[in-house]
Homo-oligomer: A and B are copies of this chain.
């Protein structure tokens, strides 16, 4: 079957006029050069990190869409504060969609072995009907895998595995995770149980606690409970966790976790000095579900840190060998440990319709959307 002459690709632009604009741009079909392949993209998830690039600091509660079919355009206003933060991207048309999977439909010289294979890709610009990229960036799936199986091979699985790598590299032995009932949080539970690592799960509702306990989680603390701070301190004390990954980012949660770690250290003989507990306590903010400022009370001595954590930055620091080891494990356990579940499958056009945007922008725990660029 001959390839079409053009394909559609989703783009996000912040204009000088303080407007976010998302649309489908028609691109000429590329011919793969030596070492490259052309992938027909069949499935690509919407992760929170994708939404960061798609919407940035735009006021999405006020978004609206116009036009129909491939001419659909989504717009949203941007506040002066948002414009300040997004200064570096103003006027640039940015491709979106970090990861996905599909079929290799054309191959350049030296890449012929991938022809017809189902591959997973973390190459950016995946919310598109086609993607041309170096064969080295493709991870071939096993014969029993569909593109949907492999769509979320990278972001969530590698993030969860990299959290454990970070824990080991920085000398911690257990960890705390917030928004723990998420797709990523459930994955992290499966990995920790397999690897024998103690994990403290922080959730926001009783039914999420139940879900995690049903899947074998030993430590679950509900932040909506009146006894949350005491529960968290007990769990941190029992596990010895001095590292946390927080998906919410804003508010007082990071500070509460550090306070619990400090209170747990105060119960442990020798762990405490007049300047506070001696062991370094670290909270990494890897998401921003709560966009309000992070508020730190600082009542936890001097050996603490809070900072941003981003998968590509970690992988660059950890080196190629670590990355390869983690990827190999993902493919081997794709239908078990690293299985993802999707709430809905949407087309490129649907992903620009304001009513659909409102649904996935809500980032409801347990809900995950899959973009299927071949869907009409």
Chain A interface residues (CB < 8 Å from chain B): 52-53, 57, 81, 84-85, 87-89, 94, 249-250, 255, 263, 266, 272, 274-276, 282, 285-286, 288, 293-299, 301-310, 312-313
Cα of A52 to Cα of B89 in the assembled complex, Å: 45
Q: A274-B94, A275-B52, A295-B293 are in contact. Are A310 and B302 (CB under 8 A)?
A: yes
How many whole Å from A234's CB to the nearest CB in chain B?
Answer: 15
Q: Are A307 and B304 in contact (CB under 8 A)?
A: yes
Quick one: copies of this chain in the complex?
A: 2
Greatest chain B CB density within 10 A among A249, A276, A302, A313 is at A302
Cα of A266 to Cα of B296 in the assembled complex, Å: 27
How many whole Å from A346's CB to the nearest CB in chain B?
Answer: 23
Q: Are B285 and A53 in contact (CB under 8 A)?
A: no
Q: A94-B274, A266-B87 are in contact. Are A310 and B303 (CB under 8 A)?
A: yes
Greatest chain B CB density within 10 A among A57, A81, A85, A282 is at A85
Q: Are A298 and B305 in contact (CB under 8 A)?
A: no
A255's nearest neighbour on chain B, judged by CB, is B293
Q: A87-B266, A294-B296 are in contact. Are A305 and B302 (CB under 8 A)?
A: no
Q: Are B304 and A305 in contact (CB under 8 A)?
A: no
Q: Are B304 and A308 in contact (CB under 8 A)?
A: yes
Cα of A122 to Cα of B20 in the assembled complex, Å: 58
